[in-house]
A and B are shown apart, each in its own frame.
Chain A
Amino acid sequence: GENVEQHPSTLSVQEGDSAVIKCTYSDSASNYFPWYKQELGKRPQLIIDIRSNVGEKKDQRIAVTLNKTAKHFSLHITETQPEDSAVYFCAASIDYGGSQGNLIFGKGTKLSVKP
């Protein structure tokens, strides 16, 4: 089955700097890659996702890149702010025509943004 590795497990940056989190996956059939943000004691929330027919996607300060050949994808956060501090999870799934696809998650990256 699919296996998702995520690095680093912790990341500390200064406010205003960029943060990059990287994930690799094992199943070349995976074609959907979402990222979730989880604040302490709260639910994971989808912040951005990318599908295998796209190499990069941006949404304001957040961007995700996908390299299908190398089977890795990354989350980039620019101009970080203290409210970006949270645990970020990457995930991968396979769409078999829309009826399947439980997400397999990485172990998470705890991002701390220091003011």
Chain B
Amino acid sequence: NAGVMQNPRHLVRRRGQEARLRCSPMKGHSHVYWYRQLPEEGLKFMVYLQKENIIDESGMPKERFSAEFPKEGPSILRIQQVVRGDSAAYFCASSPRGGFYGYTFGSGTRLTVV
């Protein structure tokens, strides 16, 4: 089992560009979560998805951010018109049955906006 796969590991974008972060959950996991971690800070919940459904997006900024988890393929976190404040590590986690059974995190994507 390859675990939760995130790519790219590092992403550099200029202000105003779009960033696309990908997450492939562990085999058999149908729940995907995205978290953002700023330097020296904790993990902030952004969005919780199941296949083709957004279950909870209460932690995601209303503008410029979107997420999807299509029937086929990885989950995508998209940030449009990036700003310097978007620079952070973005972690994806997957779970077989929701948070009650614990997450497995991916290695994260470190986004730097220049």
Contact = CB atoms under 8 A, between A and B. Distances in A.
A31 B48 CA distance: 19
A89 B33 contact: no
A49 to B, nearest CB: 6
Interface string B78-114: 0000000000000100000111111111111000000
A32 to B, nearest CB: 5
Interface in A92-112: 93, 95, 98-108
A34 B99 CA distance: 9
Contacts of B97: 98-99
A46 B100 contact: no
B48 A102 contact: yes
B12 interface: no
Contacts of B107: 42-43
Nearest to A32: B100
Interface string B54-76: 01101100000000000000000
Given A103-B99, A105-B42, A43 B56 contact: no
Contact of B42 (A42, A89, A95): A89
Given A89-B42, A104-B45, A105-B43, A98 B33 contact: no
A102 B99 contact: yes
**Size category, A interface:** 20 to 34
Nearest to B100: A95
Interface string A46-79: 1001010000000000000000000000000000
A93 B99 contact: yes
A103 B45 contact: yes
A49 B43 contact: no
Nearest to B41: A107
Interface of A: 1, 6, 31-32, 34, 36, 42-46, 49, 51, 89, 93, 95, 98-108
Given A6-B42, A104-B45, A108-B41, 10 more contacts: A34-B102, A46-B102, A49-B102, A95-B100, A98-B98, A98-B100, A98-B101, A99-B98, A100-B99, A103-B45
